Every structure is written in C-alpha cells, then in structure tokens.
Copies of this chain bind each other. A is one copy, B any other.
Amino acid sequence: MTVAMQTNLHPAWLPADAFRAIGSRRTVISATTSDSPLIDTVYAEVRAACYRFGGTVTRSSVDDDTDLMLRLTSEPGGLGDEGYSVGRADGITTVTADGPAGLLYGLFHLVRLGGSAFTGDPVTDDRATRTHRPAVRRRMLNHWDNVDVNPLMGQIERGYAGGSIFWRAGALTDDLDRLRTYARLLAATGINAITVNNVNVGRTEARLLTDRLDDVATIAAIFRAYGIALHLSVSFASPMVLGGPPTADPLDESVRAWWAATTARVYDAVPDFGGYVVKADSEGQPGPFAYGRSHADGANMLADALAPYGGVVHWRAFVYNHRQDWRDRSTDRARAAYDHFAPLDGQFHDNAILQVKYGPMDFQAREPVSPVIGAMPATRLAVELQVTQEYTGHQLHVCYLGPLWSEVLGFRFDGDGDGPFTGDAGSTVAGIAEHGGSLVAVSNVGDDPFWCGHPLAQANLYAFGRLAWEPAADPVVLLDEWISLTFPADTVDDPALVRGVLHAMMDGSWRTYERYTAPLGVGFMVRPADHYGPSVDGYEYTQWGTYHFADRDGVGVDRTRAAGTGFAGQYPKPWADVYESIADCPDELLLFFHHVPYGHVLRSGSTVIQHIYDTHFAGADEAATMREHWQRLADAGLDPALYARVADRLDEQVRSAREWRDQINTYFFRKSGVPDAHGRRIH
C-alpha cells in the first residue's frame, strides 16, 4: 500500500513536514506477525516519510544505526489492542505495542512529539506519559451523509463543507484516494469507528445494508488499513423496505430471522464490520413504538443479530415529541429522553449501546449535561457530541469546541466538580462513556478542499478524536498540538506569532460564540430550519419544544420540581437541588432552569437584562478582535488560499455576530423597556 497524498487537498494536521523527525531517521519495524494490514500501514507511512526526508526503514532487527524501533510484542504485555508505550534508551526511541493498532497509534504519537521524540533519555515531554491506552473503546464519527441528495437537507444533513466525500450522485465516490487520506487523518487523532450514512435513512441509503454491500466493503477495506471499523446507520423498517417481512416488529420471529440473515451477509462482505447505528421513533423515523414494543426490544433484536460476530448496535436516545403544541407548557422536551429511557435501565443487552446526546435538548452551545447519562448504571451508554457546527456557526464562525466537550466530559453526577475533567473518572460523563465503551460525534467533513469549510474547524475534528482517546486532556493543549502539526514551525515565517494568534482567536471562541448568541443557557433563538443566525422568536411558536417564554417581565423556562416541568428532578443530588434553586443555579444555565424577571440579579452581580446587553456587546466585539488577530498573519507566510478562506469567513462571523448582538439586544430592549446602563446603541 501507499500513503495517499493529494495535492489539491489541504493536508490538515498531517502535512509532509509533520513526519520530518521520523522520516529523517533510521527506523526498524519489528513485528512477529506481518499479515496485519495495520503493520503494512505503519511501514508505508515511515517509508513515505523516509523517501521525502532521507531516512531509512527496515522490517528486520535492530542494528547499530537504529534511531527508532517500532516493536510488536510477541506476548501481550498488558497494553491492550490499541495501547502502546514509548521509551528511550541508548539513543534509541522505542514504541512497543501488543497489537498492530497500538503500533499505528504509537507512530502517530511520535508524529505529535516531532523532534522531541528523539532527544533526551528517557522521553520526558510532558504531553507523553510512558504508556498510553485509549480511555474509550469506540471513538466513533457519525457521518450524516446521504447517498442521494436529499431535497430538504442536501447531501450532508447539517453539513457545512460541501458534498459528501463518500457518495456522489447516488453512487460511491470514485475518489477513493480521498477516503484513504481521510482515514489516515482520523487514525492520527485516535478515531477507530465511523458510520458513512445519515441516521435519517432514506430509501437509497437503506440499501447499503443489502444490495449495495459492495460499496460498504470497498469503504471498509480503505478504513481497515487505518484501524477504523465501519458501522452502518440502518432503518428500523429495513425488513419492510428491503423486501423482507411486511412488519418490523422486533418480537416477530420472521423479522428476527431477516435481521439475522441480513447481518450474516454483511459480515460475509465485511468480516470486521462494527455494527449498526439506529435513530428510531425520532423525528419521523420508524421504530418499535409502532408495534407496542419498547426501545429495549428494538435495540436488543438488532444486538442479537450482531452478537455472533462481536458487533454492537448504537441505539440513539434522541426521542421526543416533535409535534408539540407550543401552548402546552406541561410537556418539556428536555425531559423526554430520560422519561423514555431511564425506566429501561438494565433491559438492554450487553452489545446494545444507548447513544445519548450530551445535552437534553439538541447540541446547543450551552446546555446542562443530559440527566440520562447519569441515570442508567446498568446500561452501556455512548455519549454523542457534535463536531459539525449545526448550532455553533456552520463552520463560518470560529468556534473551538474542545472546551465545551471537556466541560461535558468532566461533569460529575455525584458532586460539584463541574470544572474541567482532571482524570479521576468516578461518575463523570467521561467515566460513564468509558464504561459504556463509546464516545461518538457527528462529523464536520465534506468534499471541501479544507475538509471542513473553515480551515480552523479542523481543530474540532482533531480535538474530538484526541479527547475520545484521553478525555482528561486539556483542550487548550490539544489545540496547541493541532497548531504545531497543522502549521509546522518550518513552514511559517514566525511560528510564535502564528501560535499566539491562533490561541488568541480560538481558545475562548466557544465562549465568545455563547456570548453573542442565546443568553444564559436558554438556547435556540436561531433561524428555524437552517439553524444559522438569530431569530429570537423563530422557534417560539413552533412544534419543536424549544421555547424561551420571554414576555415584558422576564424570560426563561421553569424546569423546577416546585413550579415547573420537574426536569431538574431528573438529576441526582446535589444537581437536583443546585438546578432547582434560583440562587444556586449556575448563571450560564439560569434561563434553562428558571423563568426570572429581567431585573433578577445573577451570581455575577449583574441583572439578567444588563448581562444580556453586556455579553452581546462583548461577544460581537470579540468577534471583531478575532478578525484583527487574523489580519496580523497576513504576511506570516501562510498558504494564501487558507489565509483568504479564513479571512472571508471572519468577515461573515463579524457581520453575523453584530446581527446577533443587535437582534438580541433590540428584542429584549423592546420587551423589557430597560435601557442599557452604559447607554450603548440599541435599535
């Protein structure tokens, strides 16, 4: 095999230069099994680097001139399939792994270390402990790609980077090199599982499971070489739409037999197939409710079909009434997943993984952590994050999501430590995902030359993979890693300037985005349907359960047990009490849990209305400052196309942030009548 290097594509975090340290040295790959495609991949990677940078690589034993030893143990040494250790002695850096995947991950670890992997003795870089094992078994990306272009949603649902890299005009892409390049990028972050079709499964997409298995096998072979297992999103109604029994009842024997036979054929074609992902009884997708069956019945039926082959089903918990009456204040969409699923705890088979969005609503820039995650100790859970910036600026805005995910992963259900995760899993979200075995995110990649539309949005994809491997990692350190890889010191005029500018722009960009959009955790206020740009009342009188209830006196959703929907009671203590209390509720979630007057004084000391004004003026100013930072790089030697792309998008971000500022401020000034304490212009 060869290493794909496509010249019309931005190399993201694997530019040729990232391999300089390895490629200029002498490497020996020592593996007792040579039949693994992953070992071939490791060899091909090093060989390609050596070809470019003058080093050597052999698949034999160490000799005197070796700088780097990549070694597969002959007996398992407790590192697991994917773990590895890094050591350095006698001038030789050694990566040891029990399995081929571990060797691949160890290689990419060295890429991150760069030249420092080959200095000192032992390796002391503080980003590298000696032994590395992934925290989470399955680190999965879901692609919401449609094979056919959907008339409403386009080719990628919630995609902001062009068309699909997998599918084109109903067929498998003919650019398989791009898929290899992509697999390589993902593996370098630690991702080891993907789905390649939308969880909303259309007629064409359903057929991937049966008569289009050849396409699936083709993709699987490409990703297999980088240790990434292919999963498929399937329709719960598959038997009915694919020529099976005229029912999808999960307790019907003919249905079970159809799934068993169909799954057997999938494994014939793809022996290391990962399993199924299912969105059922959600936003119009079919599911077990039609047959009076539970979600456990549905998930277990698929789990049973997969079990003989070691496959798993990821069953999404995103189930709610999407035809709610806005007049009905007793129904609370935030409650729905818990109400549906918590009673089923313990009923799911061991290879049925319940995939839960991190918040109770839908990927808002600020939500509390979903109480479902803490409520099902006897169920394997996957936590679902969103890399694609559906509600966070469509990859037109710089919004580095690492800090958001880090906060989510570090949230402790059993205590008050809701700061960044520091490593002790306990009852953190990360710990629960580790136990469940999956951390999942929706991809932000399309056929755009910069992969993600916004070049800086690559950092989100990178950070997701790295956090899935190591949830306790500091997201700012991960960003730094990404900067080092993406903008190698040798390729820019002033590396410190580039690094400084990018940190100034990105470190706090999520909070900046939060500041100029919906305030204090109230969420939404986006334009319906496309979810970009402000529309304060856009969702207020709709069926979607996403309301803010602003009137002339106040704003927010009362989700208390005492007087509201009771959602706060879905949390264990202390959170049930913290969120219940207006005094104790964190400011950033106040309007998620409480309806308060505009004059209510926050824990910060500001009133709600003044907080709205202040944060919106500040957020828009910060967006403008971000643009100024970028302009400092105009002559820094960056790829001109990349510079221009980011500059264009920053213009849009600045415009959009001002629009958010003005619409939100005007809306609340018109409602409240309270003038800005600082007399700034509100329209």
Contact B552 A672 (CB under 8 A): yes
Indicate with 1 or 0, residue by residue over A540-578, a CB within 8 angstroms of chain B CB atoms. 010000000011110000000000000000000000000
- B-chain residues with CB within 8 Å of residue A535 when the two chains form the complex: 537-538, 541
| A315-336 CB contacts (< 8 Å) to partner B | 326-327
How near does chain B come to A418, taking the closest CB pair, in angstroms?
Answer: 33
The size of the chain A interface, using a CB distance under 8 A, is 23
Is residue A678 within 8 Å, beta carbon to beta carbon, of the partner chain?
no
Is A168 close to B, CB under 8 A? no
Does more than half of chain A's interface fall in helix, strand or loop, or is it mixed? loop
Q: How far is the CA of A535 from the CA of B534 in the complex (A)?
A: 14
Interface string of A649-661 (1 = CB under 8 A from B): 0000000000100
Q: In the complex, A189 Cα to B552 Cα: how many Å?
A: 52
Considering only residues 633-678 of chain A, those with a C-beta below 8 Å from chain B are 659, 662-663, 666-667, 669-673
A163 to chain B, nearest CB (A): 16
Q: Could you tell me the distance in whole angstroms from the C-beta of A534 to the nearest C-beta in chain B?
A: 7
Rounded to whole angstroms, the CA-CA distance of A683 and B327 in the bound complex is: 6
Known contacts being A327-B662, A662-B327, A683-B327, is A670 close to B541, with CB within 8 Å? no
Enumerate chain B residues within 8 angstroms of A672, measured Cβ to Cβ.
552
Nearest B residue to A553 via CB reads: B673
- In the complex, A536 has a CB within 8 A of chain B: yes
CA distance A299 to B535 in the complex (A): 40
Which residue of chain B has its CB nearest to the CB of A666? Answer: B541
For A673, give its contact among B551, B659, B662, B669 (CB under 8 Å).
B551
Q: Which of B536, B541, B553 contacts A663 (CB 8 A)?
A: B541
Cα–Cα distance between A551 and B550 once the two chains are bound (Å): 13
Please give me the residue from chain B that is nearest to A533 by CB atom: B541
Q: Which residues of B contact A326 (CB under 8 A)?
A: 683
- In the complex, what's the smallest C-beta–C-beta distance from A51 to chain B, in angstroms? 48
Cβ < 8 Å to B, chain A residues 578-621: none
Cβ of A491 to closest chain B Cβ, rounded Å: 41
A541, B551: Cβ atoms closer than 8 Å = no
A551 partner, pick from B327, B537, B553, B671, beta carbons under 8 A: B671
- Closest B residue to A326 by beta carbon equals B683
Q: Which residues does chain B contribute within 8 Å of A671, judged by CB atoms?
A: 551-552, 670-671
Contact A541 B534, CB 8 Å, known A327-B662, A671-B671, A683-B327: yes
The answer to whether B552 touches A670 (Cβ under 8 A) is yes
* Residue numbers in B under 8 Å from A659 (CB-CB): 541
CB distance from A528 to the nearest CB of B (A): 9
Bitwise, A215-245 to B at CB < 8 A (1) or not (0) is: 0000000000000000000000000000000
A516 to chain B, nearest CB (A): 15
A482 vs B672: C-alpha distance when bound (angstroms):
52
- Smallest Cβ distance from A330 to chain B, in angstroms? 12
A673 to B672, CA, bound (A): 11
**In the complex, what distance in Å separates the CA atom of A537 from the CA atom of B670?**
12
Complex alpha-carbon distance, A327 and B658, angstroms: 12
Q: Which of A541, A659, A663, A673 is most buried by chain B, counting CB atoms within 10 A of its CB?
A: A541
User: What separation, in Å, do the CA atoms of A667 and B550 have in the docked complex?
Assistant: 10
Partner of A670, one of B536, B538, B550, B683: B550
**What distance in Å separates the Cβ of A293 from its nearest Cβ neighbour in chain B?**
32
| Cα distance, A327 to B536, chains bound together (Å) | 16
Cα-based distance from A535 to B535 in the complex (angstroms): 11
Chain B's nearest CB lies how many Å from the CB of A538? 8
A150 to chain B, nearest CB (A): 13
A601 to B667, CA, bound (A): 26
Which residues of B lie under 8 Å from residue A667 when comparing CB positions?
537, 541
Interface string of A505-534 (1 = CB under 8 A from B): 000000000000000000000000000001
Of A553, A662, A670, A673, chain B has the most CB atoms within 10 Å of the CB of: A670
Given contacts A541-B534, A541-B535, A663-B541, contact A670 B327 (CB under 8 A): no
Cβ contacts A to B, 23 pairs, < 8 Å: A326-B683, A327-B662, A327-B683, A534-B541, A535-B537, A535-B538, A536-B541, A537-B537, A537-B538, A538-B538, A541-B663, A541-B666, A541-B667, A550-B670, A551-B669, A551-B670, A551-B673, A552-B671, A552-B672, A552-B673, A553-B673, A670-B671, A671-B671
Extra inter-chain contacts (13) besides given A550-B670, A552-B552, A552-B670, CB under 8 Å: A327-B662, A327-B683, A535-B538, A535-B541, A537-B537, A541-B662, A541-B663, A551-B673, A552-B671, A552-B672, A553-B673, A670-B671, A671-B671
**Nearest 4 A/B pairs, CB to CB:** A551-B670, A537-B537, A327-B683, A552-B552
**Chain A residues close to B by CB (< 8 Å):** 326-327, 534-538, 541, 550-553, 659, 662-663, 666-667, 669-673, 683
